[in-house]
Amino acid sequence: MELIPGLPDDVARECLIRVAHQDFHTVASTCRNWKSEIQSPDFWRRRNAVGCTQTLILMTQAVYQGREFATTKYLASPTYRLTDFETATGNWSELNPNPGKSNGLPMFCQLVRVGSELVVLGGWDPATWSASNAVFIYNFLLNRWRRGADMPGVRRSFFACASDSDRTVFVAGGHDDHKNALRSAMVYNVAKDEWLSVADMARERDECKGLFHCGKFHVIGGYPTESQGRFESSAEAFDSSTWQWDQLSDEFLDAGMCPRTCVSGTDGLLYLCRDGEVAARHDATWKKVADLPSEVQKIAYVVAWGDKLLVIGSRIFGEPHTAYVLDTKRLTWTKMVVPEEFSTHVQSACSLEL
């Protein structure tokens, strides 16, 4: 059966790969052949080859409640929603309603991309403020949420999390309900909906940062139970090919530095924001590459994609957030237009190509 009646299938495929990501669920629901086509690896290879992929920055962002509450982080009971920023058009929008949560997304949940799906892990229940091990997965092709297998073990908060963008999510560290920092780690195969435990890290790491960098899951910074809030500078990396942890430098970061702005660039470098500047790690040394714009001196979140960094923040704490994009090749900044209803606090974010 022809994909599009009256057209050769190769021409029909050229039409389908140019569909906007917002229309994927309509295409998938039109007929079985179209659904099968857009779910095939060849479809995504062709779409990427002709430059039709669209990059989205997906965020857990506070619900807008008026200008006086624009940051919302400081409200007693903030409510978080899922929003997206289209990097090519500059459009901001609110995505499909939250997964079975009438009172918003879990606070402090983690977002990671796996293929064309978004995985939401953990966080605090916004009604009870109790930690959750729940996993929700949003399929952009079908415009549908599904429940994944819960994270096994103790309910953990402020853990490191990253994905290889293909099939696996990595989780490590954080703390339990008694504020005990954790060394344990695990991996989640999204397609199989299966969790596996891996060897413990060498150190306890609460409020650590997780990155998938150079083929390994990096866990950076954090602090042990007895050092509440005093960040350590070390890092370690899990190699899924050997199923072992590699110990990295004990001076991976500056002493006392919070690692939350650290991101992995596609150029093989790590980037972070510190003391009013953006620095890149090269040959085991952090070097300044650009000054931060004055309007984002207080950073809420940093996301990397391609050769770009999206920096979201404000001039001082308590002000509405704005956004700038750094071109890491040209080292130039571009200010983004942020509608007022999207100037609220961002807790987690990731990039996704569709």
Q: Using H for helix, E for strand and C for coil, what is the string for 216-256?
A: EEEEECCECHHHCCCCCCCEEEEECCCCEEEECCCCCCCCC
The mean pLDDT of 230-252, rounded to a whole number, is 93
- Is the CB of residue 49 less than 8 Å from the CB of residue 20? no
For 181, the token pair is 């920092």
Confidence of residue 77 (pLDDT cuts 50, 70, 90): low
Confidence of residue 72 (pLDDT cuts 50, 70, 90): very low
In the 8-state DSSP scheme, what is residue 40? S
Residue type, 82: L
pLDDT score for 67 = 61
- pTM (2 decimals)? 0.91
For 204, the token pair is 């306890």
pLDDT score for 43 = 76
Confidence of residue 264 (pLDDT cuts 50, 70, 90): very high
Of residues 8 and 301, the one with the higher pLDDT is 301
Mean pLDDT, the chain, integer: 89
Q: Distance (Å, rounded) from C-alpha 21 to C-alpha 155?
A: 35
Residue type, 180: N
Give how far the C-alpha of residue 68 lies from the chain's centroid of Cα atoms, to the nearest Å: 28
Residue 235 scores a pLDDT above 60: yes
The mean pLDDT of 284-293, rounded to a whole number, is 94
Among residues 160, 119, 155, 118, the alpha carbon closest in space to that of 245 is found at 160
Residue 284 scores a pLDDT above 70: yes
Q: Distance (Å, rounded) from C-alpha 321 to C-alpha 339?
A: 10
**pLDDT tens for residues 130-172?**
999 999 999 888 888 999 999 999 999 999 999 998 899 999 9
Residue 223 scores a pLDDT above 90: yes
Of residues 201 and 38, the one with the higher pLDDT is 201
Residue 288 scores a pLDDT above 90: yes
Residue 17 scores a pLDDT above 80: no
The region of weakest confidence among 56-70, 277-291, 336-350 is 56-70
pLDDT score for 16 = 72
The mean pLDDT of 247-276, rounded to a whole number, is 92
pLDDT score for 210 = 97
Among residues 70, 139, 61, 141, the alpha carbon closest in space to that of 107 is found at 61
